[in-house]
Chains A and B, each alone.
Chain A
Amino acid sequence: MSTASEKKQGFWREMIYNNPVFGLYLGICSTLAITTTLNNAIGMGIAVIVVLTVSNIVISLLAPITPDEIHIPVYIVVIATLVTVVGMLMQAYTPTLYSTLGTFIDLIVVNCIILGRAEAYASSHNVAESARDGLMMGLSYTFSLIAMSLIRQILGTGLLEFSNPMSNQVIFSLRLIPEAFVIPVFTTQTGAFLTFAVLAAAVAAIKNNDEKKEAAALKAKADAEKAAKAAAAKAAAKPVKEAA
């Protein structure tokens, strides 16, 4: 695994390989529920980025002084406080977005990504590293939300639309599919599951493909080494024969 992952440490690679949603199946509940429009996806994504980054920073600061027995309640309090703050800000500045996202803002508390990153990463790394990790995880989560919402919105309503969450003014609206040809099922629950299945399978296919390539490359390398060894052995054996 390590050879290829060292080679391609690019931004997109991190987005696909460490994708928390389609690769690790974390935070699926909100991904499925709120990706009906691009607006929702971006709003939710930003909320998660903020909570995840700040919670990672706070927890990496708190971790060294927190006794082991109480770390879970402490992390929960930190995360729940942040979510409450973000929820209140959204209620004040983007009320429509807040009401469409509804309980899913509150449910960020139990979003597996956040507690998972706190436990697995932030508790054992320094502040800068934890902040970077939170930002990257949040970005790849947002990226997944946007991918899903684009597919669902375009196929389901035929429109590509984005509006200002503060004033509800439509910023741009583009009809890509004529109204007679849209597939409304993509805006329903069924469409959510199907879109998710296709994207998850695509990520799995990319991973499988890369693994196969790596295995082939390793095998080729091993074969070449074997051949070289055999040749060396032959070369070593020859003078002996000649001497005999």
Chain B
Amino acid sequence: MNLFTLFLSALLINNVILSKFIGMCPFLGVSTKLSSAIGMGVAVIFVIFGASVLSWALYYYALVPLELQYMKLICFILLIAAFVQFVEMFIKKNSPSLYKSLGIYLPLITTNCAVLYVALDNVTQKYNLIETMVNSIAVSAGFMLVLVIFATIRERLAASDVPEAWKGNPIAFVVAAIMAIAFSAFAGLV
């Protein structure tokens, strides 16, 4: 597949949050402030990229030769958990300033469905290494894009007069519905 098409469709048309509904938990949790949304977004891009390249390698260099494909779920989730720990430790040691902006979001990412989803998707779609890299960057960039747009809307929403029962998450879902309509217009792009 054309790499550019792959990138665009993973970024906009099949956006993880608005079209596949993956990664909703951090989407609701961290999107109340713009600064946290950016921090979370960058951390997610980094972890998704690293974790999916590692899982790709594990799958094609260990599981396939040994015919252990059925182990992929167990192996990938363990690999992701280990990778997140490693990244957190590495940043703590080497870049305190980076830790200040990203560190707090790293533990949140292990239970982020988006990471596991991308790792599994790369394998089911039979992407090669380059396609895996492009796909994982595009998916996570799409995640960050929606997270940031959503955070700016929610900052305004906090000051508006919302009915009692709709305060907080329910009204956020209405906003997400409207954004999904906007994003569905990208469907004719490719």
Contact = CB atoms under 8 A, between A and B. Distances in A.
Interface of A: 25-26, 28-30, 32-33, 72-73, 76-77, 80-81, 83-84, 87-88, 103, 106-107, 109-112, 115, 188-194, 196-198, 200-202, 204-205, 208
Contacts of B111: 110, 112, 115
B48 to A, nearest CB: 13
Given A72-B81, A76-B78, A106-B116, A88 B70 contact: yes
Given A190-B180, A193-B177, A197-B177, A28 B166 contact: no
B176 A193 contact: yes
Given A76-B81, A189-B180, A29 B22 contact: yes
Interface in B107-137: 111-113, 116-117, 120-121, 124
A189 B184 contact: yes
A81 B77 CA distance: 11
A196 B175 CA distance: 12
B164 interface: yes
A80 B73 contact: yes
Contact of B18 (A81, A103, A189, A198): A189
Sorting the interface of chain B by its residue count into under 10, 10 to 19, 20 to 34 or 35 or more gives 35 or more
A82 B164 CA distance: 41
B165 interface: yes
A84 B170 contact: no
Main secondary structure, interface of B, reads helix
A103 B120 contact: yes
B113 A110 contact: yes
Contacts of A198: 170
Contact of B20 (A33, A204, A208): A33
Contacts, number: 111
28 contacts: A25-B28, A25-B169, A33-B22, A72-B81, A73-B78, A77-B78, A84-B70, A84-B71, A88-B70, A106-B116, A106-B120, A107-B22, A107-B116, A109-B73, A110-B113, A111-B113, A112-B111, A188-B184, A190-B177, A193-B180, A194-B177, A197-B173, A200-B170, A200-B173, A204-B164, A204-B167, A204-B168, A205-B165
Main secondary structure, interface of A, reads helix
Contacts of B124: 103
A110 B112 contact: yes
A73 B116 contact: no
Interface in B4-25: 18-25
B74 interface: yes
A201 B120 contact: no
A28 B177 contact: no
Contacts of A87: 73
Contacts of B112: 110
A84 B73 contact: yes
Contacts of A88: 70
A200 B18 contact: no
